[in-house]
Amino acid sequence: MMIKVDVQQIKQRFGIIGNSPGLNRAIDVALQVAPTDLSVLITGESGVGKETFPQIIHQNSPRKHGQYIAVNCGAIPEGTIDSELFGHEKGSFTGALADRKGYFEVADGGTIFLDEVGELPTPTQARLLRVLETGEFIKVGSSKVLKTNVRIVAATNVNLVQAVADGKFREDLYYRLNTVPIQIPPLRERPEDIILLFRKFAGDCAEKYRMPPIRLDEEARQLLTSYRWPGNVRELKNITERISVIEENRDITASVLRLYLPDLNVEKYPVLVKKQESDQKFFNSEREILYQVLFDMKNDVNELKKLVHDIMGGKMPMPVADETTYAHPIHPVHSAPIQEAEAVEEEETLSLEDVEKDMIRKALEKHNGRRKNAAADLKISERTLYRKIKEYNLE
C-alpha cells in the first residue's frame, strides 16, 4: 500500500524550492499520476527543473523498488542509441563482442526517463512506439521478439508539436508519450519563487565556502524579480554562485547585480548577442564554457607568475592576479588595477575556439574519454559536449 504524500513533503524530500501555483500544480499532477502506468511528458524551457520530476514519479509508484534509468537521448550518438536502449547480439556490428542487455530489458518492472526525447532519431522512434504499445522489442542483430514492462517518463525543452509539424518527430509517438502532460512554467512566470530560490542558493554557497551569505537590498530584489531569466533556475543558480564567490561586500545593490545580468549589458558583447538571438540554449552553454575557460586561464596565469617568480629566485615582487579581473572579465570591473586590465586585453586576442577545443581535449584525456565526467568537469551538459566533439571533430 502506498502512503499518501503531499506536495510540501515532496518538495522537502527532493529539495524543490518555490511555492508558486504553477510549480505546485506540476508537482501535484506528478503525484496523482505516479501510481499509474501512464506515460508522462514533462515540458518546459531549459533550466526550469524538469530533471527531478521523473524521480518523483518513480519514487511514488509501485515500481519504486524496480530500476530507474535516465537516458539522455541527445547525448548518445545515433549509431549506438538502438543498442543502448534495446541491446544487441554478439557480432551484430563491428565491436559487438558480446551480447548486451539494453535499458528496456534492464529496467523491466521499473521506469525509464527519456530526457531530450525530441532528439531521438527516426528509426529509434519507431522502435520506441512499438515497445510502448505492445511491450515488445527486438535486440539489434536479433530476430527474437522480447517482452518488457517499463514505464516511460519523457522530457523535452523543444516544442515537440513544432517538431511533429516539421516532420522530425512521429505524431503517433508524440500522442503516446504525451498521455499525461506536465508543464513546468518558466521562472519569469513565477516571480514569487525567485527570491526564495536566490536565498537557498546564496545560503548553500555560503555554507560551502564558509562565508556569510550575500544579501540583496530592496532595489536589487526588484531587479532580480523583474529580470527575464532566459536560462531559468539554472541561470539564477549560476549567477547567485558567481556573485557569492566574487563580491567581497556581502550587501548586494542593484548596480552590482546589474553587472551580472547579461541581458542588461548586451550592447557590449555583439558576438554573444548574435548567438543569443539565434539560440538561447546554445548561448547559455557557450557562456558556461567561456566562464570555465577564463577561470582556468586565470589559474594558469597565476601559476605562470608563480613559476617566473620562483625562477627569479624571489628577487622581484610577485604581482597576483586580482580575482575579480579574471574571474569576471565579461563585465566591467569596478576597481581593476591597470596592469591586470592589460593582461585581459592580451588574452582576448587568443582564438576562443582553439582554447575551447584544447580544454575539451584535456578534459576528455583526464577522464579517459568518459564524456559524462568530462562534461561535469567542464561544467557543461553532456549534450553540449557531444555537440562540440562533433563540431570540432575531436573523436
Ligand X SMILES: Nc1ncnc2c1ncn2[C@@H]1O[C@H](COP(=O)(O)OP(=O)(O)OP(=O)(O)O)[C@@H](O)[C@H]1O
Rounded CA-CA distance 305/188 in Å is 44
What x-and-dash track marks residues 191-210 binding ligand X by CB under 6 A? ------x-------------
Rounded CA-CA distance 3/14 in Å is 17
Which of 27, 29, 48, 205 forms a contact with ligand X (CB under 6 A)? Answer: 48
| Residue 187 Cβ vs ligand X, minimum distance, rounded to whole Å | 8
- 50 near ligand X, rule: CB under 6 A: yes
What x-and-dash track marks residues 136-175 binding ligand X by CB under 6 A? ---------------------x------------------
Give the pairing of strands 68-72 and 111-115. parallel
- For ligand X, give the closer residue by CB, 160 or 333: 160
Query: For 41, phi and psi rounded to 5 degrees?
Result: -115, 120
Query: For 153, phi and psi rounded to 5 degrees?
Result: -120, 125
| Residue 340 Cβ vs Mg ion, minimum distance, rounded to whole Å | 37
| Residue 339 Cβ vs ligand X, minimum distance, rounded to whole Å | 37
Contact 15, 200 (CB under 8 A): no
- For Mg ion, give the closer residue by CB, 117 or 202: 117
- For Mg ion, give the closer residue by CB, 156 or 325: 156
- 190 near ligand X, rule: CB under 6 A: no
- 298 near ligand X, rule: CB under 6 A: no
- 247 near ligand X, rule: CB under 6 A: no
Segment 79 to 98, residues that bind ligand X, using CB under 6 A:
none
**Looking at 49-57, 256-264, 271-279, 286-294, which segment touches ligand X (CB under 6 A)?**
49-57
DSSP state of 346: H
In sequence order, what are the beta bridge partners of 154? 41, 114
Contact 179, 38 (CB under 8 A): yes
Instruction: Say how many residues touch ligand X, by CB under 6 A.
Output: 16
Q: What is the CA radius of gyration of the chain?
A: 24
- 118 near ligand X, rule: CB under 6 A: no
Nearest to 220 by CA among 195, 249, 248, 189: 195
Residue 264 contacts which entry, Mg ion, ligand X, none (Cβ below 5-8 A, type-dependent): none
CB contact set of 105 (below 8 Å; sequence gap of 6+): 86, 87, 146, 148
Amino acid identity at 278: S
Residue 276 contacts which entry, ligand X, Mg ion, none (Cβ below 5-8 A, type-dependent): none
- For ligand X, give the closer residue by CB, 49 or 110: 49
CA 388 to chain centre: 15
**Looking at 39-47, 122-130, 167-175, 263-271, which segment touches ligand X (CB under 6 A)?**
39-47
Residue 233 contacts which entry, Mg ion, ligand X, none (Cβ below 5-8 A, type-dependent): ligand X
- 44 near ligand X, rule: CB under 6 A: yes
CA-based max dimension of the chain: 77
- For ligand X, give the closer residue by CB, 200 or 357: 200
Rounded CA-CA distance 93/97 in Å is 9
Residue 48 contacts which entry, Mg ion, ligand X, none (Cβ below 5-8 A, type-dependent): ligand X
Which of 10, 16, 117, 289 forms a contact with ligand X (CB under 6 A)? Answer: 16
> Exposure string (b/e) for 360-379, b if CB count within 10 Å is 16 or more?
beebbeebeeebeebbebbe
CB contact set of 239 (below 8 Å; sequence gap of 6+): 260, 261
Rounded CA-CA distance 9/175 in Å is 31
The binding site for Mg ion (CB under 5 A) comprises 51
CB contact set of 188 (below 8 Å; sequence gap of 6+): 227, 228, 229
- 237 near ligand X, rule: CB under 6 A: yes
Binding site for ligand X (CB under 6 A): 15-18, 44, 46-51, 157, 197, 233-234, 237
